[in-house]
């Protein structure tokens, strides 16, 4: 029997460009995996159109699920169990993942953040807010981080980081586009490393073999 493809669930809240980058990486043969479902925090997420066009199962929980941490944890556990998920990828997902689910899925949830953590992370630091903060601080470099998810906001150990230069005439929008390009590189790389069982976790130190 052929080996089953590595099963990935992707959680989104917007356009889903990182979700699309992972899917295209699979199509291009970067690794042998499958996005078994997409979960969106809103029915208006642009990434759902791509999921529909590519016949990827997708779900949007009702509002009451998000209002209860336990309900949301149970929902995630049920879906990931039903689809035999091996890795959960947060790709611009703006809801906090319940601690109970993080505990159940420890070491198998990753997130992409548009800055070089631990700088410019934490509650409320997403999207344009991050890039504006980088510019306001006068940073000369920024970048993106793929990290393991723990119970804090953006506090899990980094898996892959990559930097970009910040220019004096950058706006948040221009910087965001430069950072997004490397997000589309490093997130599929991280997923591929998990799929190929190359990730070594030793406390906060993570290596790719």
Residues known to be catalytic = 113
Q: How far apart are CA 204 and CA 24, in angstroms?
A: 30
Neighbour tally for 76: CB within 10 Å: 25
Q: Measure the CA–CA gap between 140 and 87, rounded to whole angstroms.
A: 34
- To the nearest 10 degrees (0 to 180), the angle between helices 128-137 and 172-195 is 120
Cβ contact 12:39 at 8 Å: yes
The position carrying tokens 């505990």 is 103
CA-atom Rg of the chain in angstroms: 17
Question: What counts of helices (H) and strands (E) characterise the chain?
Answer: 7, 9
């Amino acid at each position: 029997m052929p080996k089953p493809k590595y099963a990935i669930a992707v959680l989104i809240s917007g356009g889903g460009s990182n979700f699309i980058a992972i899917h295209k990486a699979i199509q291009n043969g970067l690794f042998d995996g499958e996005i078994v479902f997409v979960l969106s925090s809103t029915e208006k997420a642009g990434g759902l159109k791509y999921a529909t066009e590519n016949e990827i199962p997708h779900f949007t929980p009702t509002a009451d699920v998000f209002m209860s941490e336990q309900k949301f944890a149970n929902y995630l556990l049920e879906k990931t169990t039903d689809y035999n998920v091996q890795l959960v990828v947060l790709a611009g997902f703006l809801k906090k993942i319940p601690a109970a689910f993080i505990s159940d899925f420890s070491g198998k949830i990753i997130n992409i953040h548009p800055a070089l953590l631990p700088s410019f992370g934490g509650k409320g630091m997403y999207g344009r807010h991050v890039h504006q903060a980088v510019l306001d601080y006068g940073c000369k470099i920024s970048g993106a981080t793929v990290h393991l998810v723990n119970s804090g906001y953006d506090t899990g150990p980094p898996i892959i980081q990559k930097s970009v230069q910040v220019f004096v005439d950058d706006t948040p929008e221009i910087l965001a586009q430069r950072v997004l390009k490397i997000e589309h590189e490093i997130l599929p790389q991280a997923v591929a490393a998990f799929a190929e069982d190359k990730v070594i976790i030793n406390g906060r130190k993570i290596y790719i073999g």
